[in-house]
Amino acid sequence: TAALGEETLASASSSSDSDTGGASPPPRKKHRASAAEGAGEPGASAVVTGLSGIVLGLATHSPHSQATSAIHFNRSVVNNLSSSMQANGAGQGQESPELSCLNSAQNGESSSAGGTHSNGLLSSTDNGNSVGTSNGASAGPGSGTSAASTASGSEVGSLKKKKRLSQAEEDVIRLIGQHLHGLGLNQTVDLLMQESGCRLEHSSATKFRNHVMEGEWDKVGLGLPWLHNSMHFDRQGIGDLPGDLLSRMKFLLLQQKYLEYLEDGKVLEALQVLRGELTPLKYNTDRIHVLSGYLMCSHAEDLKAKAEWEGKGTASRCRLLDKLQTYLPPSVMLPPRRLQTLLRQAVELQRDRCLYHNTKLDSSLDSVSLLLDHVCSRKQFPCYTQQILTEHCNEVWFCKFSNDGTKLATGSKDTTVIIWQVDPESHQLKLLRTLEGHAYGVSYLAWSPDDTYLIACGPDDCSELWLWNVQTGELRTKMSQSHEDSLTSVAWNPDGKRFVTGGQRGQFYQCDLDGNLLDSWEGVRVQCLWCLGDGRAVLASDTHQRIRGYNFEDLTDRNIVQEDHPIMSFTVSKNGRLALLNVATQGVHLWDLQDRVLVRKYQGVTQGFYTIHSCFGGHNEDFIASGSEDHKVYIWHRRGELPIAELTGHTRTVNCVSWNPAIPGLMASASDDGTVRVWGPAPFLDSQEAEALNENCSNMDS
C-alpha cells in the first residue's frame, strides 16, 4: 500500500510538472475550505489524494506505531506543500467574519482529542471513527484524514477576521447563558462563554454565589468587601457599591446565618451572630428585635412558621441570592431570571396593545407561544348578537347585570322589571321573574352589593322608589317622602344596609332598607349618584354641569369634576379611580377622579339630551361601551379614542349598555325599540357563515 501511495505521489508530481512547463515547483498545499480556492490546480489535488491513500493504507494495515509515523509524515508533507503554495500566491482562502469574539485560542477555534467542535458540539461518528468537519473543528484520533483536516482548518481559521460583539450581542449571550445555567446545562454555558469570549458574571460574583449556596458564611462575609473592591476597579466602570446597599446585603446574609444556626440548635452561635454581627450594623433595628424573639422557638418547625422561612437549604439560599442580586450592577451579576422577565414583559406589552384581548392575564410563559405574536381575533369579542329578548312591550330604558353576573335586570316604560337568569354554560338568558307595579315606568335600577335586593326608580315625575327582594320576588319597601319629590337615581352604600337617592327637584336622601330617612341634603338637584368604596363619600352630578363629593358624616362637600355641558349620567370604575361620563352634545368622557383631570374623549357616539348610560367592561375593565342615538352600540379600548367596534341591530336609540362583570365576553343593551340584545363572541361556524355575521359588527381598528 505504501508503494502504491508513492506511485500516486510521483504521478501527481509529474502531472504538475507538465502543467508548469517541466520545472518541478515545491509542493503546494491544497486548502480544503472552498473548492474555488483550488480551481485550476489538478496537480495539487492529486497530491492530497495520494497522501490520503498513503495514510489510509498505513492506518489500516500497519501497527499503531507505523500508523502514527505515517500521520506525522503526512502532516510534514502537507505543511511543506502549504508553504510552497503560499510562496507562489496560490490557495489563499477567502476571509469571512465570524460571530465569536475573544476566544481563548488565537485562531478562534479549539481542538481536543475527544472530538469537541469549536462551536461546542460533539462531532458525529461513522463506525467508531470521528468524522472531520469543514469548519476546522478537531476530530478524534481514529482518523488520520481528520487529523490532517484539523491542521489545515486551523490555518484557515487564522486567516479569518473575528467580528467584535456589540454590547447588545454580549447582553443577549449572557442572558441565554443565565437561562441555560438555570436549566442545569452548565457545560453548555461554559462552551458558550468560551466560544463567545464573554463572561456570564464577574469572577468575584461567581465566588460570592458559591459561598452563599454552600452556606460558607465566614467566606461570604470576607467576600463582600472583596466584591465591593472588584466592582470599584472593574474596567467597565461600575463604580462603588453604595454603603447603605452594602449594609443591607450584610444584614440579609447575617440574618440567614442566624436562622440556620437556630434551626441547627446552635443557640449560642446564633446569639453571638445577633449580638456581635447584626446589632453593630445599626441597620433595621425593628427587624433585629423580631429576630431576637426567634430565640424562644422550641423547635425548627416553630421557627419556620414564625419567621415565614423555608428552612436551611437550597430553597432559602436561592431566595436570598435573588434578593442580593438586585443590589448588584447587571455587569457584575445579572438580575435573577432576567430572560424570563424580559419575555414576560414582551408578552404583556403585546397583550396590552391587542385591541380585542379580553381574557385573564396569565403571568406564566407556559400559557403562550413565544414563536408567534399575540393576536386576538374580533370573533372572540362580544360584538355578535347571541340573543334578542322581546318580553318587554314598550321602550326599555335600563339594563344592569348583577354583581356576581348570574342575573340581568331590565326596566321598561311598560312599568315592569324583568329578572333574567344567565346560564353559566351556554350564557343564554331565560326569564326568571317579572316585578310589576311601577306606575311611571322604570328608568334606573341598582343591585345591592350582595345581589339580594334591587331598587327601581322612575322618570322625572316619579316620586316613588321600589325596593325588591330578588330572591323571593317580594316588595320590601315602597318609599315616598313627598309627592313633590322626584326620585330618579339611587346608589347603594357598600355596607348594603343604606342607600342614597335623589332627583332634579332638589331632594337628596340617605335611607335604610325600610325606607326610613337617615340624612338629607337640601337644595341639590341630582342627575346621577354613586357611592365610593370608603362608604363615606357620595358622588352626585347636578344641574350645574359638575360632579361633587358629599360626606354625610361631617356634612362637607367638594367639587371634583366640572364640565362645560350637562352631565346626563356617569359611572365609576371598580377601583374608584375613573369616572365615565355621558355629556350632552359631547359624547363619552373619561375622568381621573383622584387627579381631577379629563383623561380622554371618546369619538363616534351620538349623544344629544337623552339620558344614555355607558359602562366599563371586559377583563380588568379594559373596555368602554355606550349606547347612542344613532341606534348603535359603541365599544372602545380604554386607551384609545376611536371605537374598535360598532354594533348594529337596534332600530331606535340605545339607552343603556351593561357588561357582565363575571363573564367578560357577555354584554347586554337596552333600546327604545323595545328589545334587549345580548352580545357575545361569534358562534362556531364555518368561514362563510362567520363572514356573514360581520355585518353586525363594523370593525373600526385604530
Domain count across the chain: 2
- Cβ-count burial of 683 within 10 angstroms (0-12 exposed, 13-18 middle, 19+ buried)? exposed
In a domain, 343, yes or no: no
Interatomic CA distance for residues 599 and 624, integer angstroms: 14
- Mean predicted lDDT score pLDDT of the chain: 77
- My answer on whether 28 and 150 are in the same domain is yes
What is the separation, in whole angstroms, between the first and last Cα of the chain? 79
117 — pLDDT class (breaks 50, 70, 90) = very low
Inter-residue contact 297 to 306 (CB < 8 Å): yes
pLDDT band at 666 (very low <50, low <70, confident <90, very high): very high
Q: Are residues 122 and 11 in the same domain?
A: yes
How many angstroms separate the CA atoms of 301 and 307, rounded? Answer: 10
Q: In this structure, is residue 657 part of a structural domain?
A: no
The three three-digit cell numbers of residue 394, written as one number: 314598550
Share of the chain above pLDDT 90, in %: 43
Q: Are residues 210 and 300 in the same domain?
A: yes
User: How many CA atoms does the CB half-sphere of 666 hold within 13 Å?
Assistant: 21
The residue from 311, 333, 355 where one domain ends is 333
Q: Which helix (H) or strand (E) element contains residue 512?
A: strand 508-512
CA nearest to 638, candidates 616, 623, 627: 623
Q: Same domain, yes or no, for 210 and 321?
A: yes
The residue among 95, 129, 159 that closes a domain is 159
570 in a domain, yes or no? no
The pLDDT score that the predictor gives to residue 161 is: 53
DSSP assignment letter at 298? S
Find the domain containing 215 and state its range: 201-333
As a whole number of angstroms, the distance between CA 507 and CA 525 comes to 7
The DSSP code for 80 is: H
Picking from 310, 333, 356, the residue at the C-terminal end of a domain is: 333
Specify the pLDDT at position 362.
66
Tens-place pLDDT, residues 417-430: 999 999 999 999 99
Distance CA 453, CA 479 (A): 14
Q: Tell me: the pLDDT tens digits for 599-650?
A: 999 999 999 889 999 999 998 899 999 999 999 999 999 999 999 999 999 9
CA distance 205 to 419: 66
In the predicted structure, residue 146 carries a pLDDT above the cut 50: no
pLDDT digits (tens, 9 = 90+) for 475-530: 999 988 777 788 899 999 999 999 999 988 888 889 999 989 998 888 788 899 99
Strands 546-551 and 537-542: antiparallel
Residue 112 and residue 208 share a domain: no
Cα separation, 55 vs 73, in Å, equals 9
Q: Could you give the residue ranges of the DSSP H alpha helices within 118-275?
A: 144-159, 167-182, 186-196, 203-214, 217-232, 243-263, 267-273
212/139 same-domain check? no
**H-run or E-run covering 338:** helix 338-353
Is 557 within 8 Å of 536 (Cβ atoms)?
Answer: no
Instruction: Tell me, yes or no, whether 111 lies in a domain.
Output: yes
Question: What is the rounded CA–CA span in Å between residue 258 and residue 271?
Answer: 8
Same domain, 33 and 150: yes
**Pick from 405, 406, 407: which is nearest to 418 by CA?**
407
Could you identify the residue written with the cell 492529486?
Answer: 46
**Dihedral, 139, 141, 143, 145 alpha carbons, nearest 10:** 60
Query: What digits encode the pLDDT tens for the residues 309-334?
Result: 989 988 899 899 888 888 777 877 88
> Do residues 131 and 207 share a domain?
no
* 447 pLDDT more than 60: yes
In a domain, 449, yes or no: no
Three-state secondary structure readout of 34-55? CHHHHCCCHHHHHHHHHHHHHH
What pLDDT is attached to residue 271?
92
H or E segment to which residue 291 belongs: helix 285-293
How far apart CA 612 and CA 397 sit, in angstroms, is 9
Cα 398 versus chain centre, distance: 38
Helix-strand-coil split of the chain, %, nearest 5 = 35, 25, 45
Phi/psi for 242 (5° steps) reads -55, 145
